[in-house]
Structure 1
Amino acid sequence: MDSTLVTDVCHHSTNRTGRDFIVGDLHGCVDALRYLLHEIEFDPARDRLFSVGDLVDRGAQSEEALALLEKPWFHAVLGNHEDTLIAVAEGRLRRQWWYGIGGSWAAALPDERLRHYAEKLRTLPLARVVGSGSERFNVLHAEFFGSDADLDAGVFSDEARQRLLWGRELAIGNGDPERQRGLSLTYCGHTPMRELQQIGSQVFIDTGAFGPGGKLTIVEARRSRRWQVTVDAARAEGAAALALP
């Protein structure tokens, strides 16, 4: 179950002892995550949780979401909101612009603390590849056009990187799924959906946890099982008091 970082793609061996799950865009909704991990009886000694990115912004628990990066069972890819945090920390983007897309939780955050978070986030890959052959699945934030071999190469142009973080062509129907020929089942987020939806090789699992009526979704890799909960429902069930694994 060890992983090796190769440029912007991290490869993980197949999990032979437990289960693999993927969670949609967290956006600071950690209480909903606590509830779902309890629901699926997550075992940190055997199970793994992969994140499609966007841990921060919009929700109320962004710093708690960033703390998940310290958990050995938690494996995230870089999302556009993390990429934005890094740009602000490096002085390439104004804080006010970031606040406009949900970064206002950091308004009182000292620059030193922001740089600390940015340093951790810079280590996140753009994609994670789990297993091989018929057992393989990929995890990324927005969208990717190409084959498994193209993804494995881990050498992305500026345009491809932008698409991995911000792309919505496939989700809104402007991208040709044929451009994903040879791409294994790939879990992604970024574009909120009312319900899970597979388009081409990609399964969109962001169901808008931060917004009114939105839910956080966890799926079991390569299986049809899914679990969802709203932040309000999770808190009503006492999720805030549940310990993370």
Structure 2
Amino acid sequence: MTLTLVPEVVHHAANAAGRDFVIGDLHGCVDALRYLLHKVGFDATCDRLFSVGDLVDRGDQCEQALKLLDKPWFYAVLGNHEDTLCAVAEGRLARHRWYGIGGGWAQALPDDALAVHAKRLRELPLVRTVGEGAARFNVLHAEFFGDDAELDAGQFDATVRERMLWGRELALNAGAPPRHALSLTYCGHTPMRELRQIGSQVFVDTGAFIPEGRLSMIEAMTSRHWSISVQDARALGAANMALP
């Protein structure tokens, strides 16, 4: 059997027809996403939504979140929670270890169904880059200490890959922003009270799954952003708002 290698970096042309948005860690909070897309008047014929990963775990709509991968306007990168799901499906991690970090939604999910999800998630890149030059932006899950050229090369060793999926050094102020020519880069992974830019990296996870948290979405390359909690979204009728 011939294995198809999935590229770790996928490049997208600039969106000349519509708008690009970036959503923070979804964690199964699809009703909040429904509300935000409705709020901004998302047009699926020309707008695009990029995800920093962590579609699953902790929230109560994880299977709905995975179905977003079939939407032609939705572009996700691999998050550490997707990587963990794959590790379980591939027999490299015990299920109970995953349940301890939010995978409990899958306790009744049979192995063959989990394998189907893992196969789809293994198609996700670590990085998406969009546009060129001054209009370029990048999307990845946690953090990156390098420049655009290093991102584009996609030759990530185990240490760099670990940082891209699990790193919190920048977000927790444990290190200075790297002094490299890195385009504006949208990241998630570490919940923030508000969207925060550190160096070239913009952290857009505001803890959608936390009772006092919110799901946040930003229009790429602008300061326009929107946030809402799952509870408030549902109170405003989000469950009845159709996804594009």
TM-score by length of 1: 0.97
Q: What does residue 181 of structure 1 align with? A: 180
1:181-200 superposed Cα distances (whole Å, 9 cap, x missing partner) = 10000000000000010011
Partners of 1:144 and 1:180 within 8 A in 2: no
Per-residue deviation, 1:7: 2.4
Per-residue deviation, 1:154: 0.6
Gaps of 5+ in 1: none
Q: What does residue 208 of structure 2 align with? A: 209
1:23-80 superposed Cα distances (whole Å, 9 cap, x missing partner) = 0000000000000000000000000000000000000000000000000000000000
Instruction: Kindly provide the amino acid, as one letter, of the partner of residue 168 in structure 2.
Output: R
Instruction: Kindly provide the amino acid, as one letter, of the partner of residue 29 in structure 1.
Output: C
Q: What does residue 233 of structure 2 align with? A: 234
Per-residue deviation, 1:174: 1.5
Q: What does residue 102 of structure 1 align with? A: 102
The answer to whether residue 53 in structure 2 is matched with residue 53 in structure 1 is yes
Partners of 1:195 and 1:207 within 8 A in 2: yes
Per-residue deviation, 1:153: 0.3
Per-residue deviation, 1:13: 0.1
Q: Which secondary structure does the structure 1 equivalent of 2:113 belong to? A: helix
Q: Hey, what's the Cα distance between the residues in 2 that align with 1:135 and 1:119?
A: 33
What do you get for the CA RMSD once the two structures are aligned? Answer: 1.0
Q: What does residue 218 of structure 1 align with? A: 217
Give aligned pairs, total.
240
Q: Hey, what's the Cα distance between the residues in 2 that align with 1:164 and 1:9?
A: 12
Q: What does residue 7 of structure 1 align with? A: 7
Q: Hey, what's the Cα distance between the residues in 2 that align with 1:16 and 1:85?
A: 35
Q: Hey, what's the Cα distance between the residues in 1 that align with 2:174 and 2:242?
A: 42
Matches within 5 A, 1:66-105: 66-105=66-105
Q: Hey, what's the Cα distance between the residues in 1 that align with 2:7 and 2:62?
A: 27
Q: Hey, what's the Cα distance between the residues in 1 that align with 2:70 and 2:179?
A: 33
Instruction: Kindly provide the amino acid, as one letter, of the partner of residue 67 in structure 1.
Output: K
Q: What does residue 170 of structure 2 align with? A: 170
Q: What does residue 18 of structure 1 align with? A: 18
Q: Which secondary structure does the structure 2 equivalent of 1:82 belong to? A: helix
Q: What does residue 155 of structure 2 align with? A: 155
Q: Hey, what's the Cα distance between the residues in 2 that align with 1:134 and 1:7?
A: 24
Q: Which secondary structure does the structure 2 equivalent of 1:219 belong to? A: strand
Instruction: Kindly provide the amino acid, as one letter, of the partner of residue 213 in structure 2.
Output: G
Instruction: Kindly provide the amino acid, as one letter, of the partner of residue 30 in structure 1.
Output: V
Q: Which secondary structure does the structure 1 equivalent of 2:129 belong to? A: strand
Q: Hey, what's the Cα distance between the residues in 2 that align with 1:6 and 1:89?
A: 18
Instruction: Kindly provide the amino acid, as one letter, of the partner of residue 166 in structure 1.
Output: W
1:199-222 superposed Cα distances (whole Å, 9 cap, x missing partner) = 111000000000011000000000
The answer to whether residue 134 in structure 2 is matched with residue 134 in structure 1 is yes
Q: What does residue 115 of structure 1 align with? A: 115
Q: What does residue 124 of structure 1 align with? A: 124
Per-residue deviation, 1:176: 2.2
Q: Hey, what's the Cα distance between the residues in 1 that align with 2:80 and 2:179?
A: 21
1:122-157 superposed Cα distances (whole Å, 9 cap, x missing partner) = 000000000000100000000000000000001100
Which of structure 1's runs of 4+ aligned residues deviate more than 6 A?
none
Q: Hey, what's the Cα distance between the residues in 1 that align with 2:182 and 2:156?
A: 16
Per-residue deviation, 1:175: 2.1
Q: Hey, what's the Cα distance between the residues in 2 that align with 1:207 and 1:6?
A: 30
Per-residue deviation, 1:6: 7.4
TM-score by length of 2: 0.97
Q: Hey, what's the Cα distance between the residues in 2 that align with 1:134 and 1:117?
A: 36
Q: Hey, what's the Cα distance between the residues in 1 that align with 2:191 and 2:198?
A: 14
Per-residue deviation, 1:173: 1.1
Partners of 2:19 and 2:47 within 8 A in 1: yes
Identity %: 68
Per-residue deviation, 1:120: 0.1
Cα distance change of structure 1 residues 154 and 6 upon mapping to structure 2, 3 Å threshold = farther
